Amino acid sequence: MGTKQQKKPKKIKPKTLLEIVFLDVPNTENYKFKNRKCNYYSEKCEISPEELSKINSIKKTKVTPISIPIKEYPVKVIIDTDIGTDLDDGLALLYALHNEKIEILGITTNYGPTKLRSAIVSKIYETYWKNNPNA
């Protein structure tokens, strides 16, 4: 009987920034929270009768136009994200990184596997600056 050689995994050449980011996400094989289920929209929100009454009274209030002061740019922001659940947070982070009117002071991750989420944020951040050094 001969020994069977294992095939090497096929190397995929990424084409887009998102492919670059998500092809190199850390291996989750030994991740201790890999079996934890974080069902999307699993949070429950119950509105009390008092809150519902307040909401209904606000809905009936007439709104008068106001002048909005001109903002000084860049606007300083701290991004708090549950990136990795859906695509929206990744796109929002890329938008904020690319927008000259936004200065990111910090990025935090929340909800469930935060170490994995922070690894995704780090990879997006590093890849963006590597590909856009003058941005």
pLDDT of residue 132: 83
pLDDT per residue as tens, the chain (135 positions): 555 565 655 555 555 555 555 555 555 566 666 666 655 555 556 677 887 888 888 777 777 777 777 778 888 999 999 888 888 899 999 999 999 999 999 999 888 888 888 999 999 999 988 888 876
CA distance 108 to 117: 9
**So where are the chain's domains?**
68-135
pLDDT of residue 26: 56
Helices (H), the chain: 17-23, 49-59, 88-98, 114-131
pLDDT of residue 40: 55
pLDDT of residue 19: 53
Comparing CA positions, the residue from 110, 92, 123 lying closest to residue 25 is: 123
- Identity of residue 8: K
Its pTM stands at 0.49
DSSP 27: P
CB–CB of 91/16 below 8 Å? Answer: no
DSSP 112: S
- Identity of residue 95: Y
CB–CB of 128/95 below 8 Å? Answer: no
